[in-house]
Structure 1
Amino acid sequence: MPLRLTPLDDARFDDWRAATRVRLLALRRESGMFVGGDAIERVDEFLDELLPHGLATETSLILTIDEGAHRRGTVWLAANNGVLFVVDLSFDSVPDARLLDQVLDRLKELARRQSVDRISMAVYVCDGTSRAFVEGRGFEVASIQMLLEPLPPRNPPSSLVLTPMTADRFVDFAASSEAAFAEDLASSGRYSAEDAAVESHRQMQLELPDGIESAGQELFTAEVDGEEVGVLWIGIRRRGGRPHAFILDIEIASDRRRRGYGRDVMIAAEREAARFGADSIGLHVFGFNEAAVRLYEGLGYRRVEERFLLSL
């Protein structure tokens, strides 16, 4: 029986929104992305931001997954920058491979009608259904959110020290960090080169509105025997009512790589996080950076959320 994606009826929107809120809360809490009241606040902000006008929101499309007279689930979509985002996918019962194949076929048809050439989906590690949907169907990992909690006891690096970044050094760092992030965004497949540059600049301005003096931002140079070997940028945030560190950038000088300095800087970052009262560190890494992923996992970081991308 052919599968159809049908716009959600307006009369069912409130029930769908309530059920989706419960589902998103459970996924964020179980994955460890957010804890306590943070999860409630973030989910409510997320829903309000993406659906400010309910079903009338032009940037979102909520569809029921129908097979004959039977409803099998719902899918929430949004399109931006040539990408069709699967914001949420849920089923009334555990779907089999045939159903997942058919849903993807319908999404591909929809994407092509909208002149979209990529499909993106964020998957929490605890979401078995969404993982089953992306695995074995051509999706690739574009980016990963990782978490280290609690901070483990470790011996400090023997010779590497972190020194607060100077204002003069910050000028070069900010320019190179913005350019490198734009390049990574484009390489991940999520943005065109032009859009990646715009997005990188937007995020840099958001995090560092007052440059090196921006509140909650800690920037360091990593030095060995008085010589710079890399840089580290940590944002101090809140998670579950406690300080939480997020590594926004780490870079080892090209002529100093493969000497263990990346690991040393990460361990030094743990000491800085603890100094600010944090007992957890989060970070984002692009999927193509396999060496960095191995480093972080070797240090005990676990995957919390993965964003997958399918090129059509």
Structure 2
Amino acid sequence: MPLDLTPLSADHFDDWLEATRARLVTLRQESGMFVGEDAGSHVDAVLGDLLSAGHETETSLILTIGEEGTRIGTVWLAANSGVLIIVDLAFAIDPTARQLDELLDELRSLARRQHVGRLSIALHSSDIAGRAFVEGRGFEVASIQMLLEPLPSRAPRASGGLVVTPMTPERFTSFAAASEAAFAEDLVSSGRYSAEDAVVESHRQMELELPEGIDSDGQELFTAHVDGAEVGVLWIGVRRRGGRPHAFILDIEIASDQRRKGYGRDLMLAAEHEAARLGADSIGLHVFGFNTSAITLYESLGYRRVEERFLRTV
């Protein structure tokens, strides 16, 4: 008998919300993406944004997953930019492979009825059940959040000759334009956005991070040189994590004609050095799934995956 997906009733919403909040907080804490009360604050912001009208929020759909009268779990859905987003997938029992296959079939059918071309789900490293759902079912990694904690006590490699200095206002102008354009291209390549939506999203994030340009608070921008010639750029945003400074690499780039010379590793080590100088004892970054060479580099330096977003064509 096929699975039965039915809208969550209003009288069960409060219980679902309480359990979902607790689950999402735990996943963030267990993965290490957030520390202590930071996890709760982040989850509350997400819930407030995506469920602004509670059970009556028109942009969210919460479904109960059942089979022959047995409640298997719930799935919370939202749609954006041609993508059906699985915001949360929670199981009350350990689902069988057949049940996971049928759940995917039901979600694909729902997406097609809504004229949506892709499914998306973000999973923390500790979400074993969610990972069982995506494994072997055609999902691909679209993007990864990575974390290095604590910062290792290793200095920048002196033998590489790479020197990092604060970016000048003159260099910032061309950097900002190139960074915004490159990020838009990466959003399209990741499969998460259309070309038009990617331009809008990239500009939105640039304005959010750099409202005052190079003088924006909490933003550290650098150029990297070897023998006086620029070979790359580095942009670090200073966040708070567990009440302490946390460095987040917003952009790191080696010039195309300077790659495969070890400068990428040198610049990552320089980023660690700058993070420590800023008082941080952890550093994070975001990388797109198609950038396999960068992922290999980061993992070789000890970065671990704390959250991955998966995409699947319907």
TM-score, structure 1 length as denominator?
0.99
Please list every run of at least 4 consecutive aligned residues from structure 1 whose deviation after the TM superposition is greater than 2 angstroms: none
Paired with 2:44 and 2:54, the residues of 1 have a C-alpha distance of 13
Specify the SS of the correspondent of 1:229.
Answer: strand
Mapped pair 1:54 → 2:54: yes
| Deviation, structure 1 residue 38 | 0.6
Can you list the C-alpha shifts for 1:121-161, whole angstroms capped at 9, x where unaligned? 00111111000100100000000000000011113221211
1:179 paired residue number = 181
2:91 paired residue number = 91
Paired with 2:69 and 2:257, the residues of 1 have a C-alpha distance of 64
Which letter does structure 1 place at the counterpart of 2:304? Answer: R
1:154 paired residue number = 154
Which letter does structure 2 place at the counterpart of 1:289? Answer: N
TM-score, structure 2 length as denominator?
0.98
Paired with 1:171 and 1:60, the residues of 2 have a C-alpha distance of 40
| Deviation, structure 1 residue 55 | 1.3
Residue in structure 2 matching 1:198, options 194, 197, 200: 200
Can you list the C-alpha shifts for 1:167-224, whole angstroms capped at 9, x where unaligned? 1100000000000000000000000111111100010000001100000000000111
- Residues 155, 273 of structure 2: 8 Å contact kept: no
Of 49-58 and 231-240, deviating more is: 49-58
Specify the SS of the correspondent of 2:87.
Answer: strand
Structure 1 residues without counterparts, runs of 5 or longer:
none
1:21 paired residue number = 21
1:289 paired residue number = 291
Specify the SS of the correspondent of 1:206.
Answer: helix
| Deviation, structure 1 residue 4 | 1.3
Report matched runs for 1:250-289 at 5 Å.
250-289=252-291
Specify the SS of the correspondent of 2:220.
Answer: strand
Report matched runs for 1:60-79 at 5 Å.
60-79=60-79
Mapped pair 1:107 → 2:82: no
| Deviation, structure 1 residue 70 | 1.6
Q: How many residue pairs align between the two structures?
A: 312
Residue in structure 1 matching 2:224, options 205, 222, 227: 222
Which letter does structure 2 place at the counterpart of 1:182? Answer: A
2:168 paired residue number = 166
Percent identical:
72
Which letter does structure 1 place at the counterpart of 2:211? Answer: P
Can you list the C-alpha shifts for 1:255-297, whole angstroms capped at 9, x where unaligned? 1000000000000000100011100000000000000000000
Structure 2 residues without counterparts, runs of 5 or longer:
none
Which letter does structure 2 place at the counterpart of 1:69? Answer: G
